[in-house]
Structure 1
Amino acid sequence: MKKYCMMAIALMMSVAMHAQRENWKVADKGPSIDNYFIPATSEAVCPDNEGFIRRWTLLEPIDKPNRGNTVFTDSYIKQHLGMEYFKGQFSLLPKDGQKVKVGKQKLQWHKMDSKLYNVKLFRFATGLDKKYYGIVFLATTVIECDEDIDGVRLSVGSNSASLWWLNGEETLMLSGDRRMVADDGMSKRITLKKGMNVLRGAVINGPGMSDFCVRFIDENGNPVKNIRIR
């Protein structure tokens, strides 16, 4: 009898410990979003010391199931990142807190400053308790210039594939299953116009982490820093 009592106690303790572990797993959603982002202010900011743009208006992730990152070919990226998910996606400037409907999803825009040079999309999603695999992220930022800046290149690193537009023109595509590496892809030479320039990006993620970094590089290979970000 004593043997059976000990077995019963051991079983109960095992169940209790398992429940504690399960509760811990549910409660543990990774680091807080505050570790990676702060809300943007109304004041313009400059790029960081290496020219990376840290202010972005990010849309909560759009569901986009896929078999894996190996399907991210040029044609796939053009079809699925170049499509219009909601009316006005490529013409309207999103505002912080604004909501849009994508299929059955109701998603909100968040204007934030990244604490790191690379914008941690995975942590953005988990921090908001949103889906983080099989998704598309949309990002927008506004760049102000006091004068035309000719001969610059848009320089991007992304995990995974991404597509970028400057002032409504497709400017750069990074296809394939890739890790985020700074300056992984560069556009042809372009001009940042005097006044307001709108940069939009779409980043797709299958399984795994997701982030990106963006800056402009001048004719001499130096980061462009004489701009303001709204």
Structure 2
Amino acid sequence: MEQIKRQRKINTDDSDDMKIKQFHSAHQSISYFEDLSNEIICEIFEYFDFDYIYEIFSNLNQRFVNLIINSNLPIKINISSISKPNFERYYTNIIIPYRHRIKSLRITNIFAVNIILSPQDNISKLTRLETLILTNISSSYLRNLQYLINLPKLSSLTIIYKGYTKFDRAKIYHQIFQLPVLKYFNVLLGVDSTPILSSMSFATNKYSSIEHLVIKNNIELDTLYVILSYVPQIRRLSISFYAWIDISFGFNYSR
């Protein structure tokens, strides 16, 4: 009888040992975010806006402080629904210290454009900026676009606003076509199809590097001919075309 009890105890102990080993084995197979290499974490961070990453990880531990603050990691900035006082703090604490690392910048606030893009010295510090998106920016800030020529890596630009006149549109096109490395231009400038020929002539000796052009506003065919004369390297064209017979249709071209 005693032998049977001892055998049962041994079997129970063996079973407990097996469960403990299985438990430890299962936990050892679990991967934690902190177990990832710095390279992988940096790649993950590139999918998120910098303010989101900064808020969550900057106070976690020294490793993430080094990755976020003391590194050369490219960052994305999205300035959309934010009050002016909050933006001023954001500008002081986030944009100014890390502007040399900004790779992508999206702005939908007029006051943000005036602060970030107005002083020429500010523009010159955005040395890594590749993508710029400006939405709902009024024509009074068109003069700021002239500073974009100082951005050595700006390859993608989006400008969306429905209130521009034909003179505003001509000025914007002239300034954009001077950007040295621009490859992608997405534009919505006004809702009418008033020709801009009177203020914009065909290209003769200065051309743009744009390869992908997206025109979302209505546009006359004659105006389109003028615009295309500036982009001889174009590979893809997408437009909303408004014909004189009051028919709208889409057009896409790739080569």
| TM-score with structure 1 setting the length | 0.32
RCO greater where, 1 or 2, for CA within 8 Å and sep 6 or more? 1
If each structure's strand is expressed as a fraction of its own residues, which one has the higher value? 1
Larger Rg: 2
If each structure's helix is expressed as a fraction of its own residues, which one has the higher value? 2
